[in-house]
Amino acid sequence: MADDGFNGSKIKIGEADQVPLRDIEYSSEAAKVDISGAADTYKTYVAGIPDNTITFTVVGRTTVEIGDTETFTITWNDGTTDVLTDGIVVGVSVTGSLDGEITSSITVATTTAPA
């Protein structure tokens, strides 16, 4: 039975699960577009084009590289999914610290509209 907890959530690159998964962030942001006129008393805005991004962290050093393209599928533990078709890897960082594990953080942007 699904719940609102993170544990049990998954991310796949193509058909490959990314494990062990530490965290996922899916964000969709749009620029605010000012459509105010000279006679307006208050500024008026509409949303610009959405910028959808996934950032996730796995334990260990990743083999994912900047420029890799694939479908990225998040299956959240609550039963919902987010999919970026034709996602492209735009950032990879690897960190570690004393007495801790090595982790890899991967950032993915879209090259097409989300499914």
Question: Mean pLDDT across the chain, nearest whole number?
Answer: 91
- Give the pLDDT score at 111: 80
- Give the pLDDT score at 5: 86
- Give the pLDDT score at 113: 58
Q: Which two tokens stand for residue 19?
A: 């494990």
The number of residues in the chain equals: 115
Asked if omega into 114 is within 30° of 0 (cis), the reply is no
**Each residue of 16-67: pLDDT tens digit?**
999 999 999 999 999 999 999 999 999 999 999 988 999 999 999 999 999 9
Q: Which two tokens stand for residue 65?
A: 């590289």
Q: What residue has token string 């090595």?
A: 102
Q: Is the pLDDT of residue 1 over 80?
A: no
Q: Is the pLDDT of residue 112 over 70?
A: no
- Which 3 state secondary structure label does DSSP give 100? coil
Domain segments of the chain: what residues?
Answer: 1-27+50-115
Q: Look up the CATH architecture of domain 1-27+50-115.
A: Irregular (4.10)
pTM score, two decimals? 0.83
Q: Say if CB 77 and CB 3 are below 8 A apart.
A: yes
